[in-house]
Amino acid sequence: MLCILWHWGISSRAQGNSLLSLGLWNLSNYNGELRLGGSYGEGTTREYGVYDKMTSYREYGGIVLNTSNYLWSPNFMKINIDGAYLPQNMRNDYLVFQNYDDLYNAKRLHVNTVFLDQKPASLSAYVNLDDGYDSRENLTNIRSNSLGYGTTLSFKGKMLPFSVTYSYGSWDSRELGTDRYYSFLQKNWDARSHKSFGRKDYNELIFLRHDYTTRNDDIYRIRNVYTNLELRDRYTFDPNRNSYFLSDVNGTNQSGIDSYKQIRASEAFIYSLPHHLRFNAGYNYTNTQQPTEYLIDNDFNAVLSHQLFKSLHSDLNFEYVGINESTYKEINDKGGINFSYTKSLPTKGFISVNYSYNIGKEKKTSADELLNVLNEPYVLSDNAVVLIKAPYVLNNSVVVKDVSGTIVYQLNFDYKLVQFGAYTQILRIPGGEIPDNATVYLYYSANQPGNVQYNAISNNVGVNLQLFGQLFDVYFTSFTQTYADIVNTANSNLNYLTNNVYGLKFTYKFITVGAEYNDYNSTLTPYQIERVYLALQGKYDGSFSYALNAESRTYLKLSSDSSHRVYDNINGMIAYAFDHGIRVDAHLAYQYQNGNDIDLSYLLGKVKLAKTYRKLEVSVGAEAWTRNYLVNQKSDFESCFIQFIKKF
């Protein structure tokens, strides 16, 4: 094997362009920068009646260097090195609390290499060392370091191409304000191969093994080992690939704090028929076995659609879902019809109308029970009311985790729970570990009724009118949901609702202005949302650029609050490039929240003046912010800085 690799290396030797040659080692390119700077700031805090004053000093410098190298020949072995050493000294002097002094050296060394990149067999490897500091949403300061390394062996032959990858990563993080500590370790194997036996098929086999370990505040240690084998197949029935069959079969075994075994199969059949008809059918099977319970899910769906010219699309759909869980059985049947009509208008616009009608039958058989839900996904967004799906949740049983199941988020630090009648709302807390629009996974218990049966009937209407390009856009949607043939649903809290959304938007060149009203009339979680927004973005004469985004959302008639909620956000920036390499940047941000336990007012302003001369950039600037949270937490801070960067 070594002889073959050496032969490939010799045959691939073609002299590359090198700036410096040291025997077999050749430097082909390099770039980097030198940094030097400092800042001074003053701020005050008032929390629970305690006043404190802070004076902040910061000095920093460093060097960043990136090099591209090759050994023997660029086709034999490429080596890229990215390194940085950025020391800094920070000191915070307080009037009441203990002074804080930190000599902090941020370091980065990334090395990656590719061996025989142009040959059928290639080998790549990397090593990443990082030591960093971060401010999360200007609320929480985090100090972290990480180590990562890995290697990939690839074979690009026609007979059976494959790749095998091993990666190791460790990450340690500490919040300086709360002294919370997190440690995360992962070891991953990824092996995959693909093969086609003809022009119509494609098959891929994938093996994954992920070993996750996390430690939280030295309180507990969590480990999960995830192993998965997956087979993906695709077969096309016609040269244009309009008709095809897809198959995806998975087998999973996870051991650790969340142990389970699972088999999943997903099959799809798509076929184009005469007379502009198209038939889609799918089947999904899931069998999950856990130490104390099991879940078997069978899901079948079919859609017959028709396209008349470019204007009218219609379809008939049917879906069957059968669930057999260790404590209950559930059958859901659903059928419906959809129409969508779009017509172009002579005013450079269009009008579209869509309508759908669906009826579904749900039947659940069990004794009155305590339902245990595991690994249920939710997207936490500041722009939406997110409710846990099941009613009567035992809030003290709720556990929120990340996708790996090893990071456990903390109540009242990362998220909060608000009661909405029989339902529970989950909200992320700004500055916590959960970013906006992040997916989290919930584990909880809920008291549920036994035998339940009903038909759910829904109607959905939508109209959209756009005129003069995108100048004028008005839309309306209406969704209604009712129930019939109800049996034993006294404790199920069926959601009778009518949701009407009215919207209007104007767009002209660089400006967009819009307003939206959402009337969510529900027997469970009624609310109304009034939303207005403005967006500006553009450039002038190549030297002046600007952007402004503003939004105001008001939640009215929330059943969980005695008053409404208001969310206002404004973000703006301007930049102007003068002659002789001088540039000015300014940024302004404002965030306002008002409501039960969410009161927040945050204002941030930044300005920067930079001068560039022969790859030397000199910058001076100032920053100021003020933050008021609830009634007893107030803080403000002002600072200025100077920075020198020399690029080479």
Task: State pLDDT tens for residues 335-345.
Answer: 999 999 999 99
User: Under a CB-based contact definition with an 8 Å cutoff, are residues 325 and 295 in contact?
Assistant: yes
Q: Where is pLDDT greater, at 488 or 465?
A: 465
Buried b (16+ CB within 10 A) or exposed e, 193-227: eeeeeeeeeeeeeeebbbbbbbbbeeeeebbbebb
Q: How many residues does the chain have?
A: 648
Query: What confidence score (pLDDT) does residue 151 get?
Result: 96
Q: N- to C-terminal Cα distance for the chain?
A: 42
Query: What confidence score (pLDDT) does residue 623 get?
Result: 93
Name 218's Cβ contacts closer than 8 Å, sequence gap at least 6: 181
Give the least confident one: 18-27, 205-214, 488-497: 488-497
> 19 φ, ψ to 5°?
-85, -30
Give the least confident one: 236-245, 299-308, 351-360, 549-558: 549-558
Give the least confident one: 201-210, 268-277, 441-450, 534-543: 441-450
Q: Where is pLDDT greater, at 632 or 15?
A: 632
Q: What Cα–Cα distance (Å) separates residue 332 from each residue in 82, 453, 645?
A: 56, 10, 64
Burial class (CB in 10 A: 0-12, 13-18, 19+), 444: buried
State the average pLDDT over residues 39-43: 92
State the average pLDDT over residues 83-112: 75
- In the predicted structure, residue 559 carries a pLDDT above the cut 70: no
- Hey, what long-range contacts does 78-82 have (CB within 8 A, 24 or more apart)? 78/113, 78/114, 78/117, 79/111, 79/112, 79/113, 80/110, 80/111, 80/112, 80/113, 81/109, 81/110, 81/111, 82/108, 82/109, 82/110, 82/111
The C-alpha atoms of residue 581 and residue 585 are separated, in whole angstroms, by 13
- In the predicted structure, residue 215 carries a pLDDT above the cut 90: no
- In the predicted structure, residue 4 carries a pLDDT above the cut 60: no
The C-alpha atoms of residue 19 and residue 395 are separated, in whole angstroms, by 65
Q: Collapsing DSSP states into helix, strand and coil, what is residue 2?
A: helix
The C-alpha atoms of residue 156 and residue 133 are separated, in whole angstroms, by 41
User: Under a CB-based contact definition with an 8 Å cutoff, are residues 85 and 105 in contact?
Assistant: yes
Strand arrangement of the beta sheet that strand 408-409 belongs to:
369-380, 438-448, 399-401, 408-409
State the average pLDDT over residues 188-216: 92
- In the predicted structure, residue 168 carries a pLDDT above the cut 60: yes
Q: Where is pLDDT greater, at 618 or 447?
A: 618
User: Under a CB-based contact definition with an 8 Å cutoff, are residues 107 and 85 in contact?
Assistant: yes
State the average pLDDT over residues 513-530: 89
Which residue in this structure is represented by tokens 């208008």? Answer: 345
Query: What confidence score (pLDDT) does residue 219 get?
Result: 62
Q: Where is pLDDT greater, at 496 or 328?
A: 496
* Mean residue pLDDT across the chain: 86
Name 61's Cβ contacts closer than 8 Å, sequence gap at least 6: 34, 35, 36, 37, 86, 87, 88
- In the predicted structure, residue 400 carries a pLDDT above the cut 90: yes
- In the predicted structure, residue 5 carries a pLDDT above the cut 50: no
The C-alpha atoms of residue 207 and residue 194 are separated, in whole angstroms, by 12
H or E segment and range at residue 5 = helix 2-11
The C-alpha atoms of residue 522 and residue 500 are separated, in whole angstroms, by 11
State the average pLDDT over residues 167-183: 80
Query: What confidence score (pLDDT) does residue 67 get?
Result: 94
The C-alpha atoms of residue 416 and residue 422 are separated, in whole angstroms, by 17
Percent pLDDT > 70 in the chain is 90
Query: What confidence score (pLDDT) does residue 202 get?
Result: 94
Query: What confidence score (pLDDT) does residue 96 get?
Result: 60
Give the least confident one: 109-118, 410-419, 546-555: 410-419
Amino acid at 93: D
By DSSP bridging, strand 369-380 and strand 162-175 are unpaired
- In the predicted structure, residue 137 carries a pLDDT above the cut 60: no
> 429 φ, ψ to 5°?
-105, 120
Q: Collapsing DSSP states into helix, strand and coil, what is residue 8?
A: helix
Q: For the chain, which residues make up each domain, given as ranges?
A: 259-366, 370-448
- In the predicted structure, residue 106 carries a pLDDT above the cut 80: no
Query: What confidence score (pLDDT) does residue 13 get?
Result: 46
Query: What confidence score (pLDDT) does residue 527 get?
Result: 83
The C-alpha atoms of residue 525 and residue 421 are separated, in whole angstroms, by 8
Query: What confidence score (pLDDT) does residue 9 get?
Result: 45
Query: What confidence score (pLDDT) does residue 389 get?
Result: 83
Residue 387 gets which letter from DSSP? B
pLDDT per residue as tens digits for the range 57-87: 888 899 999 999 998 888 889 999 999 998 8
- In the predicted structure, residue 216 carries a pLDDT above the cut 50: yes
Name 331's Cβ contacts closer than 8 Å, sequence gap at least 6: 320, 321, 322, 323, 361, 362, 363, 364
Residue 632: pLDDT band by 50, 70, 90 thresholds? Answer: confident
Query: What confidence score (pLDDT) does residue 63 get?
Result: 93
- In the predicted structure, residue 136 carries a pLDDT above the cut 60: no
- In the predicted structure, residue 268 carries a pLDDT above the cut 60: yes
The C-alpha atoms of residue 597 and residue 28 are separated, in whole angstroms, by 59
Q: What Cα–Cα distance (Å) separates residue 144 from each residue in 56, 110, 184, 433?
A: 21, 16, 11, 14
- In the predicted structure, residue 547 carries a pLDDT above the cut 60: yes
- In the predicted structure, residue 327 carries a pLDDT above the cut 90: no
Query: What confidence score (pLDDT) does residue 412 get?
Result: 84
